[in-house]
Amino acid sequence: MEPRSKMGELVRKLGGYLKGLAVLIALFIFIGLASLTGVLATNWIDSFGSSNTYTRAATAPFGTSCNTVGIEIHGCIATYVGNSFDPSCDTITSSQDVVGYIDQAKRSGAKGILLDIDSPGGEPQAAAEIGDALHASGLPSVAWIRGYGDSAAYWVASAATSIVAASSSDVGSIGVTQSYVDNSKQDANAGITYNQLTTGKYKDTGSPDKPLTTDERAYLQSQLQILLDQFISSVSVNRHLSEETVRGLSDGSSMLGEAALQKGLVDKLGFEKDAQKELERLTKEKPVICWPQYSF
């Protein structure tokens, strides 16, 4: 009787192990099917182009099968990443990168350039560098203002051969600012003393821990005026508008795309497909776009 009892106990244990194994296998199958379903669902959604990032990331490697280079000008524009003047900028487009993409477009034999612009602005020097590179490339270019094409971003857009803007986009803001918060009174109330140690009266101009003197204000305002004149001159040349006309629009305000069309700041209203049609008109070829920001 003892051997039979041990045999029964062994059978019961084996049955328990088999049940556990069955549950584990079922769990793996469930997880696998769920993952597969997620992948299929994602691919199905992306195949319809709902994810712009995905479709751009999936383009052919730069310079292989495309005849047009697409470049995104998003967020704040700076000369290089890490050089943003505004700590609130979570996205930065560097002129260093953009100029490189434009140069590659020229060397690769591309027929045109499409700029996707959605930016509130940035550094004047960065905008000037991109504009100069567009002109030097000699390639037809279309700037599509998607959301914001303000300040330095409009400076960039104006250098394109043609500008297409969404009717509800924000365009213009031709002006220059260097405004900042003066913390000197707050520091004084907190018992903080600013010890001025400079080799010239303008060396610490703009320090937030000291009041701005009359001479310093005049000095900074003169520098801003020089930058504004450069901005106005560039837009005037790029858009074939008189400097007087552009100066009349240089109060720093922006306007909807529809108003920008009436003022001559853009050429057409539309979406990306309309910008591509405009580029096709300029290049005489249907654009096949590669986005180097995603292709490398």
The string of pLDDT tens digits covering residues 95-124 is 999 999 999 999 989 999 999 999 999 999
Find out whether 48 and 64 touch, Cβ atoms under 8 Å. Answer: no
> What's the average model confidence in pLDDT over 180-208?
93
Q: State the DSSP code for 212.
A: P
- Give the pairing of strands 68-78 and 289-290: parallel
Task: Please tell me the distance from the alpha carbon of residue 163 to that of residue 266, in angstroms, as a whole number.
Answer: 5
Is 151 known to be catalytic? yes
Task: Please tell me the distance from the alpha carbon of residue 169 to that of residue 255, in angstroms, as a whole number.
Answer: 8
Task: Please tell me the distance from the alpha carbon of residue 183 to that of residue 62, in angstroms, as a whole number.
Answer: 49
Q: State the DSSP code for 126.
A: H
Separation of first and last alpha carbons in the chain: 76
- Give the pairing of strands 170-172 and 289-290: unpaired
**90 confidence band (pLDDT: 50, 70, 90):** confident
Q: For helices 124-137 and 95-108, what crossing angle results, to 10°?
A: 0
**78 confidence band (pLDDT: 50, 70, 90):** very high
Is 203 known to be catalytic? yes
Selecting among 94, 137, 151, 295, the annotated active-site residue is 151
Task: Write out the H or E segment, with its range, that includes residue 141.
Answer: strand 141-150
The string of pLDDT tens digits covering residues 10-49 is 334 445 544 444 444 443 433 343 333 333 232 322 222 3
The two tokens of residue 18 are 């088999």
Residue 178, pLDDT above cutoff 60: yes
Beta bridge partners of 254: 172
Task: Write out the H or E segment, with its range, that includes residue 219.
Answer: helix 214-239
In the prediction, which pLDDT does 166 show?
Answer: 96
For residue 227, CA distances in Å to 125, 142, 178, 186, 265 come to: 10, 25, 11, 31, 19
In the prediction, which pLDDT does 41 show?
Answer: 30
Task: Write out the H or E segment, with its range, that includes residue 55.
Answer: helix 52-57
Task: Write out the H or E segment, with its range, that includes residue 72.
Answer: strand 68-78
Selecting among 203, 233, 242, 286, the annotated active-site residue is 203
